[in-house]
């Protein structure tokens, strides 16, 4: 068990500085020190990706898979890698949402964990033996004395009053006081002059306002200089190399921001950002927010629907997403205050594609709030071709999130709306398009989830035919509707049609992209869903197809995506039939570890746990007792998922029905 300690207190109290001092004074006692920005999901995932890369633990093909990176780094910390066991220090900085740490917390290893958090429960909620302390702010008088000491100001009544006002406005927070005192010293101001200047309209103040709306760490300078954005006159200077450089230098001289020369990135303390936002005029706050959204929209690699499953953009998205996450957070915090402001369509686009990106990376549940907010805002926009197309994109992604999280009714609800919208748009334009063809495929998925297989089959056929009629038709467009059509045939017992459909899908794709391509993860669906073998006795061929699908998914999505877990379950079934019991349990355990304790994967966990339990019981002896515990866990989850279901004896087929059709 790693040693742990938590430093708690409000923002700006000095938690991070105290942690930095500890790291520098004790670093000689550790073989490795890892500093993790823990403010959000994306930061944690990216930081663990950086750790895995710096330790040389991942192959280039795994570099884009954040979950694989996390597990590789944790395995290294636990001493489960081929390298020698090393002592390490892991710092979770800004860990204000303690629940985010559970997937990243090292349970074993020769190391220490230091946490900084605003949540006092960090001292008791993270480990059985965690120690910690709470830091308190200065009183007004203590803060004022600290200001005067740092600035070496005169002892006039004006300065004493100004120092008390400054300490009060900064909440007695040592870090905020220290930062502002640095401005006063470098500009040789009085405290009273600083308070007046701080509210000024200089360009450096505008840059400070913009930076305060971004994620505090790793603010890429290239976002400003490369952004081809139509900014208002007040912010045009950001797109000029000289204007940006001058404003940046003013902020650097005042110690309000710090800069990494190596990475050309800026950093601002979170408390300073919060203070800057608080002191803005309400109207200015929304104007600056929209400016930030405009900048982000020009550097974010938006995805076209026909390339929705391509992975090429992920690395760039990973760099920028912390700022998108901050935009979403700020809007939620200010939603009531900004309710009467005109909706910027760029904000709607940013939230929609941010949610779609999270969905692509396997974080569908976390992407849902982005999509729900974008839906609410999009419905407030004036009707136009652009807003209608955007609204249909939102419904498309909400439906996709619903099917990934086992929510059949919502999947049907969103896709019924989507298909009707795309039909109306096509009617106005007088031509079919990619979104309409995709909408037929999506509602086919919804009908499959609701058990209406014949209706689903018709829509998959219509989707395929429509894609093939398009002038810009590409073979890659057919991957999902063809795979789903094959599975629809299989579920209805039409095995010959099913096998023919899968073979056609694989053959056409391999002719276009070669075997086991990495253009997208679409090819894996054709392999994964080709399971006519169970019914046609072609077990060996079925096994080979599932293994091929697993390899393709691992090369595109990485080793820990939930679709990989689906295939691990299928391959475990093959091993059980062949009597290779150890391999079967290994694949089932891998599937269960990928799904973890996430509520939206409880259906999959119940299914795999039931299979594991039955398999262990069949082995007898000590394994049977563990198997019975697995069955009890699976039944408990089933009662939670279907609370109104009548008790009875359940078989594997009953648990198959809990999961979305392509996972079967």
DSSP 84-109: PP--EEEEEET---GGGGTTT---SS
Read off the pLDDT of residues 160-204 as tens digits, 9 standing for 90 and up.
989 998 888 777 888 888 878 888 888 788 998 887 766 555 677
pLDDT: which is higher, 549 or 1: 549
DSSP string, 358-408: HHHTT-HHHHHHHHHHHHHHHTTSPP-HHHHHHHHHHHHHHHHHHHHTT-H
Which residues are CB-contacts of 312 (< 8 A; sequence separation ≥ 6)? none
The share of the chain scoring above pLDDT 90, in percent, equals 45
Neighbours of 618 (CB within 10 A): 12
pLDDT exceeds cutoff 80 at 526: no
628 pLDDT band (50/70/90 cuts)?
Answer: very high
Read off the pLDDT of residues 142-172 as tens digits, 9 standing for 90 and up.
999 999 999 988 889 999 989 998 888 777 8
pLDDT at residue 527 in the model: 47
* CATH number corresponding to 441-663: 1.25.40.10
pLDDT at residue 271 in the model: 77
Read off the pLDDT of residues 91-127 as tens digits, 9 standing for 90 and up.
999 898 888 888 888 877 888 999 999 888 887 765 5
- Crossing angle between the packed helical segments 140-151 and 174-186, to the nearest 10 degrees: 30
pLDDT at residue 510 in the model: 73
DSSP string, 545-567: HHHHHHHHHHHHT-TT-HHHHHH
pLDDT at residue 560 in the model: 77
pLDDT at residue 309 in the model: 66
415 pLDDT band (50/70/90 cuts)?
Answer: very high
Read off the pLDDT of residues 452-506 as tens digits, 9 standing for 90 and up.
999 999 999 999 999 999 998 988 888 889 989 999 998 898 988 988 998 888 7
pLDDT at residue 528 in the model: 46
- Answer whether 3-134 and 441-663 agree in fold: no
Assigned token pair, 278: 């608080």
> Which single residue is written with the structure tokens 């505008």?
206
- Inter-residue contact 449 to 412 (CB < 8 Å): yes
> Which single residue is written with the structure tokens 């979770």?
92
Helix ranges (DSSP H) in 170-309: 174-186, 191-198, 203-212, 222-225, 241-253, 270-279, 282-299
pLDDT exceeds cutoff 60 at 252: yes
Read off the pLDDT of residues 538-582 as tens digits, 9 standing for 90 and up.
567 677 778 777 887 777 777 778 888 999 999 999 999 889 999
Angle at 98 between CA 92 and CA 99, to 5 degrees: 125
End-to-end Cα spacing for the chain: 38
Burial zone of 413 (CB within 10 Å; 0-12 exposed, 13-18 middle, 19+ buried): middle
Starting at the edge strand that comes first in sequence, how are the strands of the sheet with 265-268 ordered? 219-220, 265-268, 257-260
pLDDT at residue 270 in the model: 83
pLDDT at residue 558 in the model: 73
pLDDT exceeds cutoff 60 at 334: yes
Report d(CA 289, CA 273) in Å as an integer.
13
- Inter-residue contact 194 to 205 (CB < 8 Å): no
Summary mean pLDDT of the chain: 86
Assigned token pair, 410: 């919502």
The domain locations on the chain are: 3-134, 140-296, 305-406, 441-663
CATH 3.90.230.10 fits 3-134, yes or no: no
Report d(CA 365, CA 367) in Å as an integer.
5
Assigned token pair, 37: 């920005």
pLDDT at residue 257 in the model: 84
- Inter-residue contact 164 to 141 (CB < 8 Å): yes
Which residues are CB-contacts of 75 (< 8 A; sequence separation ≥ 6)? 57, 81
Neighbours of 460 (CB within 10 A): 28
pLDDT exceeds cutoff 90 at 356: yes
pLDDT at residue 514 in the model: 62
Least confident of 236-250, 543-557, 624-638: 543-557
306 pLDDT band (50/70/90 cuts)?
Answer: low
Task: Single out the residue of 451, 388, 377 nearest to residue 418, CA to CA.
Answer: 388
pLDDT at residue 337 in the model: 92
Task: Single out the residue of 369, 409, 308, 393 nearest to residue 660, CA to CA.
Answer: 409
Exposed e or buried b for every residue in 26-54, given b needs 16+ CB within 10 A? Answer: eeeebebbbbbbbbbbbbbbbbbbebbbe
Long-range contacts of 371-378, Cβ-Cβ distance < 8 Å, separation of 24 or more: 371/397, 371/398, 371/401, 372/398, 373/328, 373/331, 373/332, 373/335, 374/348, 374/349, 377/343, 377/347, 377/348, 377/351, 378/343, 378/348, 378/352
pLDDT exceeds cutoff 50 at 533: no
pLDDT: which is higher, 280 or 391: 391
């Amino acid at each position: 068990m790693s040693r742990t300690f938590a430093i708690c207190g409000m923002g700006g109290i000095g938690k991070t500085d105290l942690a930095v001092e500890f790291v520098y004074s004790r670093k000689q006692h550790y073989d490795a020190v890892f500093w993790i920005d823990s403010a959000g999901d994306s930061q944690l995932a990216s930081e663990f990706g950086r750790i895995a890369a710096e330790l040389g633990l991942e192959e280039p093909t795994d570099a884009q898979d954040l979950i694989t990176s996390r597990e590789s780094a944790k395995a290294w910390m636990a001493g489960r890698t081929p390298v020698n066991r090393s002592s390490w220090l892991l710092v979770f900085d800004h860990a204000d949402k303690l629940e985010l740490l559970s997937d990243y917390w090292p349970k074993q290893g020769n190391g220490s964990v230091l946490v900084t958090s605003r949540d006092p429960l960090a001292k008791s909620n993270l480990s059985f033996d965690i120690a910690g302390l709470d830091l308190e702010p200065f009183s007004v008088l203590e803060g004022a004395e600290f200001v005067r000491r740092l600035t070496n100001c005169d002892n006039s009544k004006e300065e004493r009053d100004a120092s008390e006002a400054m300490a009060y406005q900064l909440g007695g927070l040592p870090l905020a006081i220290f930062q502002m005192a640095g401005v006063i010293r470098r500009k040789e101001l009085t405290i009273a002059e600083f308070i007046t200047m701080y509210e000024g309209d200089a360009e450096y103040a505008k840059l400070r306002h913009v930076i305060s709306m971004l994620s505090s760490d790793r603010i890429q300078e290239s976002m400003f200089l490369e952004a081809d954005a139509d900014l208002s006159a007040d912010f045009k200077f950001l797109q000029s190399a000289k204007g940006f450089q001058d404003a940046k230098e003013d902020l650097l001289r005042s110690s309000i921001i710090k800069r990494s020369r190596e990475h050309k990135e800026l950093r601002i303390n979170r408390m300073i950002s919060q203070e800057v936002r608080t002191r803005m005029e309400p109207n200015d706050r929304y104007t600056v927010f929209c400016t930030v959204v405009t900048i982000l929209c020009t550097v974010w690699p938006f995805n076209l629907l026909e390339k929705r499953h391509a992975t090429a953009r992920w690395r760039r998205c990973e760099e920028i997403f912390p700022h998108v996450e901050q935009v979403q957070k700020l809007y939620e915090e200010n939603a009531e205050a900004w309710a009467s402001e005109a909706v910027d369509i760029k904000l709607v686009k940013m939230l929609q594609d941010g949610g779609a990106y999270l969905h692509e990376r396997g974080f569908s549940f976390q992407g849902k709030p982005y999509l729900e907010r974008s839906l609410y805002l999009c419905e407030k926009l004036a009707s136009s071709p652009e807003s209608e197309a955007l609204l249909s994109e939102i419904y498309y992604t909400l439906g996709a999130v619903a099917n990934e999280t086992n929510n059949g009714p919502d999947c049907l609800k969103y896709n019924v709306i989507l298909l009707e919208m795309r039909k109306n748009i096509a009617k106005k334009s007088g031509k079919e398009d990619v979104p309409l063809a995709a909408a037929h495929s999506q509602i086919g998925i919804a009908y499959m989830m609701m058990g209406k297989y014949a209706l689903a089959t018709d829509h998959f056929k219509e989707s395929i035919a429509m894609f093939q009629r398009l002038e810009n038709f590409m073979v890659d467009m057919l991957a999902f509707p063809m795979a789903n059509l094959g599975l629809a045939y299989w579920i209805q017992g039409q095995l010959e049609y099913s096998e023919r459909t899968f073979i056609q899908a694989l053959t056409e794709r391999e002719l276009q992209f070669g075997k086991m391509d990495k253009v997208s993860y679409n090819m894996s669906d054709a392999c994964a869903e080709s399971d006519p073998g169970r019914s046609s006795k072609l077990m060996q061929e079925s096994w080979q197809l599932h293994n091929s699908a697993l390899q393709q998914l691992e090369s595109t999505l990485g080793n820990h995506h939930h679709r990989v877990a689906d295939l691990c379950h299928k391959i475990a079934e093959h091993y059980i039939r062949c009597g290779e019991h150890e391999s079967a349990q290994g694949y089932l355990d891998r599937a269960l570890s990928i799904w973890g304790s996430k509520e939206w994967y409880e259906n999959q966990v119940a299914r795999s746990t039931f299979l594991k339990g039955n398999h262990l019981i069949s082995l007898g002896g000590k394994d049977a007792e563990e198997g019975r515990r697995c069955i009890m866990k699976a039944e408990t989850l089933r009662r939670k998922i279907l609370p109104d279901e009548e008790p009875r004896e359940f078989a594997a087929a009953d648990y198959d029905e809990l999961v979305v059709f392509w996972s079967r």
